[in-house]
Amino acid sequence: MDQTLDAVRGSADMWLDAAYEGLVEGGVDAVRILPLAKKLNLSRTSFYWFFKDREELLAALLGRWKQKNTGHWIERTEAYADSVCEAMLNVFDCWFDDSLFDSRFEAAMRSWSQQSQEIAEQMAQDDAQRIAALTALFVRFDYEPRAADVRARVAYYTQAGYVSMKLHEDMAVRMSRIPEYVEVFTGVRPQQHELQRFYSRRNFEFE
């Protein structure tokens, strides 16, 4: 599509980005064609070059959430690690990096799930996939299956609680708790060099 048509019709990504902003700012009821068209300064009819209807746009929004939040979460559980502490710290990257795991998106999806049984079922499936991936992480480091399952649930529900409660902690305070979180979830105290690698990825200097 050339730039002239882009200016007249937009693009599928533009419409999807606007739908995302609408969802995180105003909930699923804000994801409607006319308000999005006004926000993009495009005609309402241009929407139909890219999506059949609002339901198709909502389906694309669901797909984006699955690909970003669930996909990246699972990737982090499978990332290379020499120890279970390092593996857990790999997953912790999702707690601090919106490019890996978008907490605003997650909270908005959970709100949407309270209005839609279909979305609630989709979220339950993704929750199960994420917990299974964490469980596999622990099994990989020789935890017994039941212990692996429970530790995975404790770690996952802790993060889900942060998202649902929309907690805003001082970064230094939150980072200072990382060693204890790792130890609680794994039963193993992380070594200093493991913590330092994690802090370095987050561009944080812990004093």
Separation between Cα atoms, residue 110 and residue 82, nearest integer Å: 34
Grade residue 12 by pLDDT with cuts at 50, 70 and 90. Answer: very high
Q: Among 4-13, 26-35, 138-147, 189-198, where is mean pLDDT lowest? A: 4-13
Q: What is the CA radius of gyration of the chain?
A: 20
Task: List C-alpha distances in Å: 57 to 18, 33, 60, 78, 118.
Answer: 11, 9, 5, 31, 15
Average of pLDDT values for 98-113? Answer: 95
Confidence at residue 122, expressed as pLDDT on a 0 to 100 scale: 97
User: Whole-structure pTM over 0.85, yes or no?
Assistant: yes
Grade residue 56 by pLDDT with cuts at 50, 70 and 90. Answer: very high
Confidence at residue 4, expressed as pLDDT on a 0 to 100 scale: 47
Q: What share of the chain is helix, strand, coil (3-state, %, to 5)?
A: 75, 0, 25
Question: Three-state SS for 118?
Answer: helix
CB-neighbour burial class of residue 168 (10 A; exposed 0-12, middle 13-18, buried 19+): exposed
Q: 61 or 202, which is more confident?
A: 61
